[in-house]
Structure 1
């Protein structure tokens, strides 16, 4: 096979997906009847890639028993008109429409976007509450919280967002004023940053302790740029922050997002896509560290699709998670694959249960 796309796979900012390469790897589905709630994916229509309801259904319907999903903001379909402070409400409206389409049952039993994590610029301070109220009004049955990405690093190899946040965002008094409104409204905060910033997240949580926090992507352990070749040192610092965060009872963690190039693994460069065994071996120490710290009741596997699709297919991704969870009890697996996500995002309890036809089988 011509491997000329290897350097483009997963490269930010567009995270190129090489479908021809991915098709070279297939596996039978493991533990196919296990209910899954995928708590982290995106939807967009961009010049370089489209990932809307048909595309995500193509991934969800590849053999695993996915019951529902949570959409997480990705600057998609912002309003072009009106008050620019309200522009991000357009994304919530857009995703709520997809959620309503899925809830009709016309597209099958899975409930896409049963929960919505939107974007509100919390630096708006007290005005952020008006934007939050608008989001709730547009999607009262699905809007669950906000992600305002704080991922910043001095290295351009690490800091790869199209619109990177300012340094020390979480310490900004205006941001903290807006953040405080989440807890008052019963909304959660999805935290995405790189591992050297985790102490700032701890400081934020201790200063404003009433907001539920969902830590994204294993806490953003970086393995590129200045962090490459320093595996033991990075792991030690990252683990200390993970353990400190786990001491805060209002924090849970998403187990995934490690298929991005940020992690420093070489899977994107290989002639063949990785197997679930290879991924489980490589990612296992980080996932196990998080589960040991938080416990299965505050940890949840996530796909981070379509971003992590640059590394492997949806089928291989969830096979990987099932391999890493093999040693846990049945109740612990139920939490890791569905229950923790249902609780974190106040989703319908039935999403964590087998569908009647799956239970009968």
Structure 2
């Protein structure tokens, strides 16, 4: 099966500054200890991890590069693409509530590989702490003013936020229907307690009611536990039921998810879980939806 990996990263720590990977003090991280990621990760490493799988395209998603030089990340990734053929397209870093937002988005809109941006909105640590209207959140007028510029430059928006903020995401999608949103990492259903998963499912279904939203099934690891298809089956199937295969993309999130599983384990798990779907539907989720949503045929 051909794969378009809808979410992966590269970094060269000998050349570039990624604060979370380069600074001595680690940040809080959902998988716990991430010291194994503090090494350069380049296309040769990715291809070795992908192994026998035929990756025919990939989406590079910003990797929290030096926030003072967002275009520097795009320039470096473009050079990687030119020499290795990967990635196919780029989701770049942007800060929607910063004064230079319009200038940065204008440069991205003119770049042949950039398809969209990611700016993680402010989020609460737990569902009980979630409040609407916080500064830096999807409700923030300054943040929304930057978001409103995306459609003018033909840019999509990769949204990484936990499921307890998907009500705000639903309002965002409805208020800006011309902007394509791609929900990252399945809405982060990190707590597999039955009650928590029920609330995640309800929030996901509300967001899926917006036709301008797609989802990437990825990032399903649990800290300290092996990635197993049987543990993730219900999450995967419920996500597909909410969005349909035409708005679902499978992704590795490598090398980040190498902390919880091998590339082979993750994609064999997706393969096993989706055996009941038609080949057309499986081709959509593994390849064609990613190509379409990220406009990989455009140059």
Q: Specify the TM-score bucket, using the shorter chain as the normaliser.
A: 0.7 to 0.9
Does 2:95 align with 1:121? yes
TM-score, normalised with respect to structure 1: 0.71
The one of 67, 72, 79 aligned to 1:97: 79
Residue 68 (structure 1) aligned with residue 71 (structure 2): no
The CA deviation at 1:37 is 0.2
The aligned runs of 1:282-301 (5 Å cut-off) are: 282-301=231-250
Rg (Cα) greater in structure? 1
DSSP-derived class of the 1:97 partner: helix
Establish whether residue 49 from structure 1 lines up as the match of residue 16 from structure 2: no
Tell me, yes or no, if the aligned pair for 2:122 and 2:136 is still in contact at 8 Å: no
Q: Deviations over 1:322-360 (max 9, x none)?
A: 1111110010011000001001100129xxxxxxxxxxx
Whether the aligned pair in 2 keeps the contact of 1:195 and 1:222 (CA below 8 Å) is no
Identify the residue that residue 162 of structure 2 maps to in structure 1: 194
1:162 match: none
Q: 2:103 aligns with which of 123, 130, 138?
A: 130
- Number of corresponding residues: 270
**Distance in 1 separating the partners of 2:73 and 2:211:** 30
Match of 2:280, SS?
A: helix
Where does residue 150 of structure 1 map in the other structure? 121
Give CA-to-partner distance per residue, 1:119-162, whole Å, 9 cap, x none: 1100126x41210122344xx2210000101262245xx99xxx
Deviation at 1:242, TM superposition (A): 0.9
Distance 2:232 2:5 in 1: 18
Contact preservation (8 Å) 1:291, 1:299: yes
- Where does residue 235 of structure 1 map in the other structure? 197
Contact 1:75 1:91 in 2 (8 A): no
1:236-255 equivalences under 5 Å are: 236-255=198-217
Mind listing any 5+ residue stretches in structure 2 that lack a counterpart? 14-20, 23-37
Distance in structure 1 (CA, Å) of the matches to 2:56 and 2:120: 27
